[in-house]
Amino acid sequence: MISILSAIIVIGVLVLVHEFGHYVVAKYFDVKVLKFSIGFGPKLFGIKGKETEYLISSVPLGGYVKLYGEDDSEEVKEEKERAFSFQHPFKRIAIVFAGPFFNFLFAFLVFFVINTVGYKTVSTKIGDIKEDYPAAIAGIKKGDRVLSIDGTRVTTWEELSKIIKSKPERELNIELERENQKMQFRVTPLMEKTKNLFGEDVYTPVLGIVSSDELIKISYPLPTALIKSASQVYELTRLTVVTVIKLVQRVVPVSSLGGPIMITKLAGETAKTGAISFILFMALLSVNLGVLNLLPIPILDGGHMVIFSYELITGRKVSERFKEVYTYVGIFIIILLTITVFYNDIMKVFFGK
């Protein structure tokens, strides 16, 4: 029950954010919005505004904003200046792009609040030392706390790992604290063959140190929080894009894709670990949703942007025949992906494969 409720909250919030992006920019350009729906299918609940009907629909797997004159084929007799299809291509691109942009903005705001308020993370205290690795050979011991690397202060294990990985095969000047005394060590990382997130063999610089279980609360001043939050959104976006590329290259198997059932399972698990984990999970999914919607797949936001960009560059509208075929291709791709992720979810959740 917790998993289902958590998933409804996650999907509901992310859809609301995404569709609100379309809605608010359409309103800014004075394009008439006919419907704003959370969910698809038959209406469960609705409120009629001045010109927009706000809906909660029965299938909670998405949502939509219905714009006046959304399709070129629609007959527009009145208020042509407020019809979507009569807007300049730049305005149509902006309205379509606003959905994914608000997903990125939502993730940024989540990270910014958490970075400002503070969160718990693993400290730089060393929990164990691997024998015959550079750290052990240099004399670093279990219980030591890393203070800085090459003059750069580190307070979290994440910061420590990032610096080490950025300086392969370079001697590092490491400042430690041991029994309230500061000590200096010079250590050259060992290049070790490991697997990355995509299962590929890569060589990673390692010292042979293992983190402890010690947690510390860390927060950042506003300017630093802004920069760090933007960096986190960028890294998540880059990782999502790389994952899509690896899927196309068949490096990442299609069986790794997940859908609503897997989201429900993960939402429940993160909700049980605490509010911050749950909110961060939403931020992660929000970035994924933003990137996936920008893919140049027909019927997705990215697919619409391809058509509008063509019109912007050439000054000509694409033919109705092309749009019809383009839409059918998009529907086919989406149906294929939907079947795939549901199959993967069922095999993973119910059969453990």
Which residues make Cβ contacts (< 8 Å) with residue 337, sequence separation at least 6?
Answer: 257
Which residues make Cβ contacts (< 8 Å) with residue 100, sequence separation at least 6?
Answer: 18, 21, 289, 290, 291, 293, 294, 301
The H-or-E segment that residue 325 falls in is helix 320-351
Q: Which residue has the tokens 């691109």?
A: 93
What's the sign of the alpha-carbon dihedral 18, 22, 25, 27? negative
147, 131 Cβ separation under 8 angstroms:
no
Please state, in angstroms and rounded to a whole number, the distance separating the CA atoms of residues 189 and 25: 51
Q: Which residues pair with 45 in a beta bridge?
A: 56
SS3 160: helix
22, 95 Cβ separation under 8 angstroms:
yes
303, 296 Cβ separation under 8 angstroms:
yes
Please count the other Cβ atoms lying within 10 Å of the Cβ belonging to residue 124. 26
Of 186, 184, 161, 160, give the one whose Cα is nearest residue 171: 186
| 169 catalytic per annotation | no
Q: Which residue has the tokens 């979810």?
A: 345
The token duo for 217 is 């609360």
Which residues make Cβ contacts (< 8 Å) with residue 108, sequence separation at least 6?
Answer: 229, 230, 233
Of 115, 119, 102, give the one whose Cα is nearest residue 287: 102
* Annotated catalytic residue, options 19, 78, 131, 324: 19
Task: Tell me which residues are annotated as active site.
Answer: 19
